[in-house]
């Protein structure tokens, strides 16, 4: 007996840390250094006295029980009734993240401390899927739960609940406390790495379990966080172990108990010495929160912004390079250029690449990115889709036309209100610049004749030699371009058609250029080979005379070049009409013949004009030009036809009506 007393004395006074209270009905651990606890799983006591239920390894569980069971029933006269108890503990949860953990810890009163079949994670080391809620489990738990488990009806990731035999709480509430005095509810965080105190009281008289929690610095609040009526006798028949259970799930968390006191049979659990508590380990939480809650919003905002910018850029790019393509165009695929290529080829259609502005639109020089070929890109604004198919098919068929005196049409591209035509680039520009821009070189007579021949052979090809008749409709000096060898090449063929198609068929819209328009066009509006010949005649006159087809005299009246030449002819010196810049350096006979041929081609009556093959024969000298009189070429159509044909060449009165008799009837 005295030995036992001595032992008790030693235990109580010499080794106070090791076992502060041997009495199972009441004990206090202000820190667990040296405590005699029954631990399993991951539970350990750290050197600085923290009871660490889980050690950070995921998907594990740990338990710590007071080693001796406590009698929860008072057996008196065969009547069994539960005993009241009160406990207080300080816990702390240190998760790898500062706002996310799993799953929590629980204070447990359990018939058995063998939880080997219980599962970790959401089962918190207390039960498993098969036995959860089974009354054979015999445990009462107060859970501090940091995850939401829908299967257990969890209310939040920060709640406190009272559980019996399973993880579904009888009552639960968000962690927090009711402030004494005001009664206001103050939220608390279970996992903000701050230790907090919890009190669990069971009043056997009322069968009421009450849970209270508060920050360490506060005394126990008067109003409990939650209370539940529990028939403890049905859970715990006799003796039970008290302690803690915890587990980890997917997140590495450490669940700590820093201090614990327990007392049976009424009254409060012994107060804990808050000042003497071991400190929670300080670890820097991973940047999940920073990633998810600071960086993520920034990152996602940045991403959204980047996406928005990308969308805008792509859209701008899409718009910038947007083309119009229709099904029927697939057959013309190879002739189609991408707008992007043309855009880059012309440096974005920059002014430095502008070659000139014509009646249809601007012409830019470009270098194709793929082949490096030099091209001229003509931008034609075109509103109407009408006739576009016919035009494009014509463009494409024209694109197949290969002739040394035609500017090759390489292909096209379509945009919303724009048509882009891609031609071979002609390094020496257009003939009209050479003829009328007096800062350039003077073309010699033989050069001029060569160019006339070139253009004639191109028209021959279009009118006679190509598989179908192609009317040029806009033969003129500005449409004759000079290649690197100063050969004349006719360009722009067929383009006038676009405007024919594009316009209302009921209005006869004459296409062409003033001065080059055959008089019958004003009447019929129908282009023909003869109207091309008329324009060719005017063109030849322009080349030979170095003058524009229409000029203004000193009174501001329009003066036709043809009339001027006819006047020279009447005066008996037709060669006076030849370009003075040649300073007479030309064969007079040949010049006279060419001028007469010009006038014949530009005859007011279409039927009087020779065909292109004939013209070629005249030019080559194979056929002699028949003697034509000045009267023949200056016939007054107005007088002849008694109707309002516009663009008569002659402003001179027709002198001898008899000369007209050899002119075949019009049309």
Ligand X SMILES: *[C@@H]1O[C@H](CO)[C@@H](O)[C@H](O)[C@H]1NC(C)=O
Ligand Y SMILES: Nc1ncnc2c1ncn2[C@@H]1O[C@H](COP(=O)(O)OP(=O)(O)OP(=O)(O)O)[C@@H](O)[C@H]1O
Least distance between ligand Y and beta carbon 416 (Å): 20
Least distance between ligand X and beta carbon 275 (Å): 17
Instruction: Decide if 160 contacts 145 (C-beta within 8 A).
Output: yes
Residue 25: cis peptide before it, omega within 30 degrees of 0: no
Q: Spell out where 392-466 has E strands.
A: 409-415, 418-424
Least distance between ligand Y and beta carbon 312 (Å): 35
Instruction: Pull the structure tokens for residue 152.
Output: 């257990």
Q: Residue 110 or residue 650: which is nearer to ligand X going by CB? A: 110
Q: Residue 61 or residue 472: which is nearer to ligand Y going by CB? A: 472
Least distance between ligand Y and beta carbon 501 (Å): 16
Q: Residue 195 or residue 600: which is nearer to ligand X going by CB? A: 195
Instruction: Pull the structure tokens for residue 394.
Output: 């014509």
Q: Closest Cα partner for 215 from 189, 243, 239?
A: 189
User: Which residue is at the shortest CB distance from ligand Y?
Assistant: 358
The contact mask relative to ligand Y for 491-520 (x = CB under 6 A, - = no) is xx----------------------------
Residue 185 binding target from ligand Y, ligand X, none, CB below 5 to 8 Å by type: ligand X
* Residues 6 or more apart whose Cβ sits within 8 Å of residue 658: none
Least distance between ligand X and beta carbon 220 (Å): 15
Q: Considering only residues 42, 101, 478, 528, which one is a binding residue for ligand Y as defined by CB under 6 A? A: 478
Least distance between ligand Y and beta carbon 412 (Å): 14
Q: Which of 163, 201, 454, 474 is catalytic?
A: 474
Site for ligand Y in 379-438 (CB under 6 A): 407, 423-426, 429-430
- Give, for 306, the enclosing helix (H) or strand (E): helix 296-320
Q: What single string gives the DSSP state of each residue in 318-383? A: HHHT-----GGGGGGGGGBPPHHHHHHHTTTT-GGGEEEE-SSEEEEEEE-TTT--EEEEEEEE--
Least distance between ligand Y and beta carbon 615 (Å): 22
Q: Residue 224 or residue 491: which is nearer to ligand Y going by CB? A: 491
Q: Considering only residues 360, 445, 534, 586, which one is a binding residue for ligand Y as defined by CB under 6 A? A: 360
Gap between the Cα atoms of 405 and 311, Å rounded: 48
Q: Considering only residues 37, 188, 363, 409, which one is a binding residue for ligand Y as defined by CB under 6 A? A: 363
Q: Residue 252 or residue 602: which is nearer to ligand X going by CB? A: 252
Q: Closest Cα partner for 665 from 646, 641, 648?
A: 641
By CB under 6 A, tell whether 619 contacts ligand Y: no
Q: Considering only residues 60, 460, 481, 591, which one is a binding residue for ligand Y as defined by CB under 6 A? A: 481
Residue 500 binding target from ligand Y, ligand X, none, CB below 5 to 8 Å by type: none
The contact mask relative to ligand Y for 298-337 (x = CB under 6 A, - = no) is ----------------------------------------
By CB under 6 A, tell whether 458 contacts ligand Y: no
Gap between the Cα atoms of 100 and 249, Å rounded: 11
Q: Residue 241 or residue 360: which is nearer to ligand Y going by CB? A: 360
Gap between the Cα atoms of 600 and 606, Å rounded: 10
Q: Spell out where 70-146 has E strands.
A: 70-71, 73-76, 79-82, 85-95, 103-110, 139-145
Q: Is 379 annotated as a binding residue?
A: yes
Q: How many CB atoms lie within 10 A of CB 480?
A: 28
Contacts with ligand X by CB under 6 A lie at 36, 42, 55-57, 60, 67-68, 76-77, 79, 114, 116-117, 131, 134, 136, 156, 174, 185, 187-189, 192-194, 215, 231, 233-234
By CB under 6 A, tell whether 568 contacts ligand Y: no
Gap between the Cα atoms of 549 and 536, Å rounded: 11
Least distance between ligand X and beta carbon 267 (Å): 20
Gap between the Cα atoms of 159 and 148, Å rounded: 9
By CB under 6 A, tell whether 376 contacts ligand Y: yes
By CB under 6 A, tell whether 67 contacts ligand Y: no
Q: Residue 81 or residue 552: which is nearer to ligand X going by CB? A: 81
Q: Residue 509 or residue 667: which is nearer to ligand Y going by CB? A: 509
Least distance between ligand Y and beta carbon 516 (Å): 10
Residue 34 binding target from ligand X, ligand Y, none, CB below 5 to 8 Å by type: none
Residue 114 binding target from ligand Y, ligand X, none, CB below 5 to 8 Å by type: ligand X
The contact mask relative to ligand Y for 219-258 (x = CB under 6 A, - = no) is ----------------------------------------
Residue 56 binding target from ligand Y, ligand X, none, CB below 5 to 8 Å by type: ligand X
By CB under 6 A, tell whether 536 contacts ligand Y: no
* Residues 6 or more apart whose Cβ sits within 8 Å of residue 40: 62, 63, 113, 115
Q: Considering only residues 67, 271, 281, 356, which one is a binding residue for ligand Y as defined by CB under 6 A? A: 356
By CB under 6 A, tell whether 479 contacts ligand Y: yes
Provide the pairing of β-strand 85-95 with 409-415. Answer: unpaired
579 noted as active-site residue: no
Residue 426 binding target from ligand Y, ligand X, none, CB below 5 to 8 Å by type: ligand Y
Gap between the Cα atoms of 88 and 27, Å rounded: 11
Number of residues in contact with ligand Y under rule CB under 6 A = 21
CA distances from 268 to 84, 175, 220, 262, 580 (A): 10, 21, 10, 9, 128
Residue 192 binding target from ligand X, ligand Y, none, CB below 5 to 8 Å by type: ligand X
Instruction: Pull the structure tokens for residue 524.
Output: 């019929």
Q: Closest Cα partner for 196 from 87, 274, 283, 289?
A: 274
Q: Closest Cα partner for 317 from 338, 336, 340?
A: 340
- Give, for 388, the enclosing helix (H) or strand (E): helix 388-399
Q: Which stretch binds ligand Y (CB under 6 A): 43-51, 300-308, 352-360, 636-644?
A: 352-360
Residue showing tokens 């740990």:
62
Q: Closest Cα partner for 446 from 584, 587, 541, 583?
A: 587
Q: Residue 90 or residue 376: which is nearer to ligand Y going by CB? A: 376
Quick one: CA torsion of 388, 389, 392, 396, rounded to 10 degrees?
Answer: -170
By CB under 6 A, tell whether 358 contacts ligand Y: yes
Residue 474 binding target from ligand X, ligand Y, none, CB below 5 to 8 Å by type: ligand Y
Q: How many CB atoms lie within 10 A of CB 302?
A: 11
Instruction: Decide if 436 contacts 579 (C-beta within 8 A).
Output: no
Q: Closest Cα partner for 244 from 45, 473, 13?
A: 45
Q: Residue 283 or residue 440: which is nearer to ligand Y going by CB? A: 440
Binding-site annotation, residues: 379
Binding-site annotation, residues for ATP: 379
Annotated catalytic sites, by residue? 474
Interaction site with ligand Y (CB under 6 A): 355-356, 358-360, 363, 376, 378, 407, 423-426, 429-430, 474, 478-479, 481, 491-492
């Amino acid at each position: 007996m005295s030995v036992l007393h001595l032992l008790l004395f030693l235990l109580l006074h010499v080794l106070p840390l090791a076992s502060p209270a041997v009495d199972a009905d009441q004990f206090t651990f202000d820190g667990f250094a040296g405590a005699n606890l029954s631990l399993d799983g991951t539970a350990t006591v750290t050197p600085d006295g923290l009871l660490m239920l889980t050690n950070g390894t995921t998907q594990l569980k740990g338990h710590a029980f007071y080693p001796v069971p406590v009698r929860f029933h008072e057996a008196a006269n065969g009547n069994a009734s539960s005993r009241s108890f009160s406990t207080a503990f300080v816990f702390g949860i240190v998760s790898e993240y500062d706002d996310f953990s799993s799953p929590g810890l629980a204070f447990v009163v359990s018939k058995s401390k063998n939880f080997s079949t219980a599962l970790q994670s959401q089962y918190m080391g207390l039960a498993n899927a098969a036995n959860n809620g089974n009354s054979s489990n015999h445990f009462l738990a107060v859970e501090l739960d940091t995850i939401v488990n829908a299967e257990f009806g969890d209310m939040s990731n920060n709640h406190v609940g009272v559980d019996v035999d399973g993880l579904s709480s009888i009552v639960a509430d968000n962690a927090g406390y009711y402030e004494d005095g005001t009664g206001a509810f103050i939220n608390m965080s279970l996992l903000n790495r701050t230790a907090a105190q919890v009190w669990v009281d069971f009043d056997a008289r009322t069968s009421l379990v009450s849970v209270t929690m508060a920050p360490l610095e506060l005394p126990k609040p008067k109003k409990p966080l939650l209370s539940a009526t529990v028939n403890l006798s049905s859970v715990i028949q006799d003796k039970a172990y008290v302690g803690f259970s915890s587990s980890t799930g997917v997140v590495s968390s450490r669940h700590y108990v820093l201090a614990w006191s327990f007392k049976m049979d009424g009254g409060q659990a012994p107060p804990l010495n808050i000042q003497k508590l071991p400190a929670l380990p300080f670890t820097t939480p991973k940047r999940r929160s920073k990633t998810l809650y600071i960086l993520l919003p920034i990152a996602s905002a940045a991403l959204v912004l980047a996406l928005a910018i990308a969308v805008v850029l792509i859209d701008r790019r899409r718009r910038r390079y947007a083309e119009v393509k229709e099904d029927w165009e697939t057959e013309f695929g190879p002739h189609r250029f991408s707008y992007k290529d043309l855009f880059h080829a012309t440096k974005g259609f920059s002014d430095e690449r502008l070659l000139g502005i014509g009646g249809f639109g601007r012409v830019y020089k470009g270098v194709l990115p793929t082949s490096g070929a030099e091209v001229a890109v003509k931008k034609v604004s075109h509103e109407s889709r009408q006739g576009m198919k016919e035009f494009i098919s014509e463009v494409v068929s024209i694109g197949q036309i290969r002739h040394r005196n035609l500017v090759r049409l390489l292909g096209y591209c379509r945009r919303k209100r724009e048509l882009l035509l891609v031609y071979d680039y002609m390094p020496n520009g257009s003939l009209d610049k050479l003829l009328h821009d007096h800062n350039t070189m003077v073309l010699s007579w033989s050069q001029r004749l060569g160019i006339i021949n070139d253009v004639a052979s191109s028209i021959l090809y279009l009118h006679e030699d190509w598989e179908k008749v192609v009317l040029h409709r806009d033969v003129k000096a500005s449409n004759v371009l000079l290649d690197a060898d100063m050969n004349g090449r006719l360009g722009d063929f067929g383009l006038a058609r676009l405007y024919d198609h594009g316009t209302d068929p009921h209005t006869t819209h004459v296409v062409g250029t003033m001065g080059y328009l055959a008089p019958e066009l004003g009447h019929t509006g129908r282009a023909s080979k003869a109207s091309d010949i008329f324009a060719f005649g005017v063109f030849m006159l322009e080349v030979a005379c170095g003058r524009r087809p229409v000029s203004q005299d000193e009174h501001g009246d329009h003066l036709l070049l043809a009339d001027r030449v006819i006047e020279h002819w009447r005066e008996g010196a037709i060669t006076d009409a030849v370009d003075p810049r040649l300073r007479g350096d030309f064969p007079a006979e040949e010049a006279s013949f060419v001028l007469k041929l010009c006038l014949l081609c530009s005859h007011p009556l279409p039927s009087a004009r020779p065909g292109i093959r004939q013209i070629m024969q005249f030019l080559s000298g194979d056929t002699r030009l028949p003697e034509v009189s000045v009267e023949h070429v200056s016939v007054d159509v107005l007088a002849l036809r008694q109707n309002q044909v516009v663009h008569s060449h002659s402003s001179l009165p027709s002198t001898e009506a008899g000369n007209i008799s050899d002119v075949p009837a019009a049309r």
